[in-house]
């Protein structure tokens, strides 16, 4: 973007950081990461990390945790056949989006202090993106 030291100095003086611009270009937004995520890898990750407690089938019942089929775009704690913790019920006006799911999967206890979900979270942005892409694929017109 800036081919010279003088150009870079002008950009900094104008409040534009060529380093920050380069970092933004190299680090896509999380929504972009989800759009380009690997749904199959997300399914494999969800199977290995989540399936002991969650069901992913269209007509599956709740297990230790709620069934996650069709979750994307629904209100938090809105699944009828599951008894949610007060921590998640307090967020029921919010919707499960890419951003809310990412925050939840990264740090469940930080997202909803007092949650009953005993999972430490997923640090890797790519792992979260792949899982969220998989969850987004589970709509089937529900």
Could you please report the per-residue DSSP string of 69-105?
TT-TTSBTT--TT----HHHHTTTTSB--HHHHHHHH
**Residues 18 and 46 placed together within one structural domain of the fold:** no
pTM for the whole thing?
A: 0.79
**Residues 46 and 79 placed together within one structural domain of the fold:** yes
Residue 86 lies in a domain: yes
* Domain count along the chain: 2
Angstrom distance (rounded) from CA 90 to CA 114: 11
Q: Is the per-residue pLDDT at 46 higher than 60?
A: yes
Residue 103 lies in a domain: yes
For the chain, strand residue ranges (E) read: none
The SS3 call for residue 109 is: helix
Residue 142 lies in a domain: no
- Whole domain around residue 16: which residue ranges? 1-29
Q: Is the per-residue pLDDT at 16 higher than 60?
A: no
Residue 115 lies in a domain: yes
- Residue 140's pLDDT band, with cuts at 50, 70 and 90, is low
Per-residue pLDDT tens digits for 49-104: 999 999 999 988 999 999 999 999 999 999 888 999 999 999 999 999 999 999 99
Residue 109 has a CB neighbour count (10 Å cut-off) of: 14
């Amino acid at each position: 973007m800036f081919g010279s030291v003088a150009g870079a100095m002008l950009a900094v003086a104008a409040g534009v950081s060529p380093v920050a611009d380069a970092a933004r270009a190299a680090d896509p937004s999380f929504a972009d990461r989800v759009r380009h995520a690997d749904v199959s890898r997300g399914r494999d990750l969800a199977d290995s990390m989540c399936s002991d407690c969650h069901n992913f089938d269209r007509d599956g019942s709740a297990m230790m945790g709620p069934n996650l089929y069709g979750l994307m775009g629904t209100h938090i704690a809105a699944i009828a056949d599951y008894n949610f913790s007060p921590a998640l019920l307090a967020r029921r006006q919010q919707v499960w989006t890419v951003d809310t799911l990412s925050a939840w999967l990264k740090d469940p206890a930080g997202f909803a202090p007092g949650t009953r979900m005993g999972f430490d979270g997923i640090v890797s942005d790519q792992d979260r993106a792949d899982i969220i892409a998989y969850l987004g694929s589970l709509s089937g017109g529900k």
